[in-house]
Amino acid sequence: MPGPDLTWIFGSSRSGSTWLLRMLRRHPDVLGIDETGLGHHLGLWRPIALAWDTPQPPPLTTFMKVKEDRPDYFFNEQYAEIWRPALAEMFEARLRAQIDGARPDWREPGTRVVIKEPGGSQMASELLALSEGSRLVFLLRDGRDVVDSWLDAYGEGTWASEDGAYVVTDENRIPFIRWQAAVWKYRTEALDAAYEAHDPQRRSLVRYEELLADPEAVMGALLDELGLDSDPELVAQIVAAEAHSSVPEEQKGAGKEIRLASPGSWREHMSGEEVAALEAEIGDSLRTHGY
């Protein structure tokens, strides 16, 4: 598929990417895809999360990074000129098969395929390379709110329990906070690098807090950058349809995938000790990114 027709949404999970994709899907010229999982497979974390229950966990990285110099590792750097083109070919064939069935007219000029892939954001550079000329949307959110949202998700009977989330006990909250903070930092810094290296004409930075404060203005600007119709009436309809206030009460709140839409709520849900542990992990990165 032509690269310019493909847009990736990257950012830490729990940064509002589902909301953003839902709005984009309401645009008549967008075909949205919710997580291919490819970034997860390529970006398997090392060490495992249990390491953050130790006094000095090693720096977070990925399995691919650890193994990249091993001669027998399938995705090593030595044979990258072989496996990267093959991976890109497989990606395109698999994607074509799905979108041909879902939207036969997707090849029409102006149509955009948008993939939301926050869980694979640590591999943003690799994924962007799969389709030359693709667009990058970097969705950035305060890491403290991201971690707070994950704390809520790892509770009894939450939306995330079906995807493998477990109940974080009181004694395990700080290790969990440290782990999720490290993940936010790694993904954010990986996206900093991918964003810096990407064509300025094909990249967009969206702050969750700004999107929430003025969704019509931010969505309108983003649609312009993606080369899509940004008629104010259309944008207003899209935003209204997916507004937090439009979601039934029983489908939002604590333990739900659609939660609070309230920046800074981490202050109400973490103890001083927990905030200190979080700050120790990501304080510098938060300040670098204006938080």
> Per DSSP, which regions of the chain are E strands?
6-10, 30-34, 45-46, 61-62, 112-116, 135-140, 203-207
The CA-based dihedral angle spanning residues 239, 34, 256, 153, taken in that order and rounded to the nearest 10 degrees: -130
**Tokens representing residue 190 in the block:** 């990986």
Q: Which amino acid is at 125?
A: S
Report the C-alpha gap between 187 and 117 in whole angstroms: 12
CB atoms within 10 A of CB 286: 19
Q: What is the pLDDT of residue 161?
A: 82
Name the 3-class secondary structure at 201: helix
Report all structural domains of the chain as residue ranges with CATH numbers, in order of start.
3-288 (3.40.50.300)
Q: Is the peptide bond before 28 cis (omega within 30 degrees of 0)?
A: no
33, 101 Cβ separation under 8 angstroms: no
Which of these, 1, 33, 285, lies nearest to 143 by C-alpha position? 285
At residue 207, the 3 state secondary structure works out as strand
pLDDT at residue number 138? 99
Peptide bond between residue 2 and the one before it cis (omega within 30 degrees of 0):
no
Parallel, antiparallel, or unpaired: how do β-strands 45-46 and 61-62 relate?
antiparallel
Q: What is the pTM of this model?
A: 0.93
| Cα separation values, 165 from 43, 63, 110, 151, Å | 19, 21, 39, 10
**pLDDT for 254:** 82
pLDDT for the residue 263: 92
d(CA 213, CA 208): 9
The Cα–Cα gap between 115 and 21 comes to: 8
**Phi, psi (5° rounding) for residue 283?**
-55, -45
The rounded Cα 260 to chain-centroid distance in angstroms is 18
Quote the pLDDT of residue 5: 86
Distance of alpha carbon 68 from alpha carbon 71, whole angstroms:
8
Mean pLDDT of successive 10-residue segments in the chain (291 residues)? 79 95 96 95 92 89 96 97 97 90 71 94 97 95 95 86 83 94 97 98 98 98 96 98 89 81 92 97 97 97
